[in-house]
Amino acid sequence: MINEERLVGLFLDLCRINSPALQERECVAFGKKVLEDMGLEVWEDDAGAKIGGNANNVIARLPGNKPGAPKIFLSAHFDTVEPTEGLIIEERDGVFYSASDTILGADDYAGMAPAVEAVRCLMESGEPHGDVYLLFTVSEEIGLKGAGALAIEELGLDFGYVLDTGPPVGSFVTRTATHDKLDIRIIGKPAHAGKDPEKGINAIQVAARAIDGMKLGRIGPELVANLGIISGGTGTNVVCAEVRIKAEARGTSVAELDAQVAHMIQRFQQAAAEYGAKAEIVHDRHYHSYQIPDDAPVVRLAMEASAKLGMNPFTRTTLGGSDANVFNAKGVPSIVIATGMTEIHTHDEHVSRKDLVDVARLAYEILVSAARD
């Protein structure tokens, strides 16, 4: 049923298009044409204008042929975590790798290509089905921005699946963390480092005092925190007057997350007070957690489809986010289907032919089983 060469060909074509966040126009145009050529109803929204990008989300609809069957969606994202210009792809023992100095882009074309293939096969099979939507978003990697701009709540969907996490194929993410971001600005006082250092307040020193003893990394089984970016200073002969720090924390327990964020903020505020500096801190709840029970239709259907194909179905928790966080927050039950993409966000990223095919098989089985139920 799954056409492996057609599936792999689409995956490779997508990977070869340079498509970093906010710059997905070429890949969106390509993907939109593929969907139109399949005979789907296809349109774009106005996400680009809302988020400051050059491309919109793409929505495609296959009208149902069985009245009363659930209206469901498959979703993936167009953007890659970094540019892939000049990408060279090599296949070794049935596994695709980047042979160039860039990521492969399996995140998330290892979700998008199987989703498209599953719908192709559904159209070719003649099997009964309800309305099926493909929701392909932009700028997921920089904060789920495309999903945030997508009016999914207006489509009348019953539930759906985001194909966007790592293996094992046949497993599903049904529980995630809440994710908070901190943007910290430490304001000291400049002075000549050789002539009048005592007149300055070194913002780097303030930041170091705050960070020393701060709880970071894995704090609990489902609570983590990280300082990801630190920048500041104008020269070695100037007492550093300003430092900016970008940080985050994630946790499945909102109470534990709130306590961790309060701890981080307090460390910066105390250090600033100690040195006579200032700490300006912006705290943003980036996205909310979700937990979908195992007996919910969206989970039950996926688990049964996975088992039917001889996979090992199970549900799992992740501290990473996906468009499913946004879709659930907008009232559309959504879980994440595991794909074969491995070592994502690194230049060792790879995915196998077998996993691409198995994800397409699973997505197809979910679509046809939804109408049978």
Tell me: the pLDDT tens digits for 299-356?
999 999 999 999 999 999 999 889 999 999 999 999 999 999 999 999 999 999 999 9
238-275: pLDDT as tens digits: 999 999 999 999 999 999 999 999 999 999 999 999 99
H helical segments located in 212-278: 254-275
Question: Does the pLDDT at position 140 exceed 90?
Answer: yes
Q: What is the pLDDT of residues 116-125, one digit of tens each?
A: 999 999 999 9
Looking at residue 1, its pLDDT comes to 83
3-state secondary structure of 265: helix
Mean pLDDT throughout 131-156?
Answer: 96
Structural tokens at position 83:
């540019």
Q: What is the pLDDT of residue 100?
A: 92
Q: Which residues pair with 186 in a beta bridge?
A: 243, 279
The CATH number of 178-287 is 3.30.70.360
**Percentage of the chain modeled with pLDDT above 90:** 97
Cα→Cα distances 199→133, 166, 191, 196, 271, Å: 63, 53, 6, 6, 18
Q: Could you tell me the two tokens for 368?
A: 């046809």
Confidence (pLDDT) at 314: 97
- Going across the sheet that includes 350-352, the strands are 89-92, 95-98, 350-352
- pLDDT bracket for residue 358 (50, 70, 90): very high
Model confidence, pTM? 0.89
What 3-state DSSP class applies to 64? Answer: coil
Instruction: Please give the structure tokens belonging to residue 245.
Output: 């720090």
For β-strands 58-62 and 132-137, DSSP reports them as antiparallel
Q: How far apart are CA 14 and CA 358, in angstroms?
A: 19
Residue 99 confidence (pLDDT)? 94
Residue 372: what pLDDT? 87
DSSP-H helix ranges across the chain: 4-15, 25-37, 47-51, 106-125, 145-149, 203-211, 254-275, 297-308, 323-329, 353-372
Catalytic residue among 79, 349, 358, 365: 79
79 as an active site residue: the answer is yes
d(CA 15, CA 104): 7
349 is catalytic: no
Looking at domain 4-176+289-372, what is its CATH homologous superfamily?
Zn peptidases (3.40.630.10)
Statement: residue 293 has pLDDT above 90:
yes
Residue from 107, 117, 140, 222 carrying the catalytic annotation: 140
CB 58 within 8 A of CB 31: yes
Mean of pLDDT values over 68-86 = 96
* Domain range list for the chain: 4-176+289-372, 178-287
What are 188-237's pLDDT values in tens digits?
999 999 999 999 999 999 999 999 989 999 999 999 999 999 999 999 99
Q: Is the pLDDT of residue 135 over 90?
A: yes
